Amino acid sequence: MAGMTLREELSSPSIPPVLPSRPVALLLGSGFKGLAGLVKPVRRISYAEMDGYAPHIGIQSERVPQATLGTIDGISTMVYPTRLHLYHGHSAYEVTSLVRHARSSGCETAVFLGACGVVNGDLSESLGVVTDHINLTGENPLVGWRAPGQDSFVPMEEAYDREMRDLAIEVAQARGIDLREGVYAEMRGPSLETPAEVRALRMLGASFVGMSLTLEVIMARALGMRVLAIVLPTNPAGAAWVSHRSVRAEVTSFSREVELVVRGVLARL
């Protein structure tokens, strides 16, 4: 594809569109805020305006984040630069406030990005795409809540959309980026995994482990959204040297690969 621009290459007809042109929600995890800088903004919305949002417990003075409605390479997007976690003291309902806001804003597709630990495998492969999950938080955002006219018993088979996963893998391969599939396990946190927990996760078939994602995906599926989750393995599960700073540094080092995959997926929606 010599001589083609990035936009032209990513828009190659070899991979047909899989979704209608609707706003796409990008929900960014730790260290991925740089992607928000790709957005040509139309409007900014404070998290404080979203149903169920509450400030981080003990960090009340922190500036309230803002979502950005705009476009990336001409594709309509709603970008949430930071996500909420149980370990901040939020309830499962509060953790999923961004997903509900995205759906009420017209988004039918949610793309999650986040860092994780590696349970099975190693760090040689730069990115992962989630095929399924194991919710070990003991929480579920649908307890006591359901969308009007919908059953609370939401099926989770193929919660991570197969067409979206295939698209991400094909985009990555076209750019020479390693992207492997795997199962994501969520722990409540904020303490890291013990050696015994890592062994248990391995026996359960988990490839990745983190402290977000599963509750948000449950809510997204309850609202009828299609889901793609891309993760960046930053450390072996439970590694003693892990810190928020080390995770952010690892994410920064792979920012270009993540950007190429995300823009490639968006270009074909």
Q: Is residue 2 part of a domain?
A: no
Query: Residues near 249 by Cβ (< 8 Å), separated by ≥ 6?
Result: none
Crossing angle of helices 255-267 and 162-174, in 10° steps, is 120
Name the amino acid, one letter, at 14: S
Q: Is residue 224 part of a domain?
A: yes
Beta-strand pair 66-72/40-46: antiparallel
Q: Is residue 4 part of a domain?
A: no
Q: What are phi and psi of 184, to 5 degrees?
A: -105, 130
User: Which domain range does residue 231 map to?
Assistant: 21-52+65-267
**Which tens digits make up the pLDDT trace of 76-116?**
999 999 999 999 889 999 999 999 999 999 999 999 999 88
Domain count across the chain: 1
pTM score of the predicted model: 0.87
Q: Is residue 58 part of a domain?
A: no
Q: Is residue 45 part of a domain?
A: yes
Single out the residue of 117, 12, 142, 28 nearest to residue 79, CA to CA.
28
Cis peptide before 141 (omega within 30 of 0): no
**Which tens digits make up the pLDDT trace of 15-73?**
333 333 578 999 998 778 788 888 999 999 999 999 888 776 544 446 888 999 999 99
Query: Residues near 34 by Cβ (< 8 Å), separated by ≥ 6?
Result: 252, 255, 259
The most distant pair of C-alpha atoms in the chain lies apart, rounded to whole Å, by 56
Task: Give the pLDDT band (50/70/90) at residue 119.
Answer: very high
Query: Residues near 6 by Cβ (< 8 Å), separated by ≥ 6?
Result: 263
Q: What's 104's domain CATH number?
A: 3.40.50.1580
Question: Rounded distance, CA 159 to CA 49, Å?
Answer: 28
Q: Is residue 71 part of a domain?
A: yes
Q: Is residue 40 part of a domain?
A: yes
Q: Is residue 253 part of a domain?
A: yes
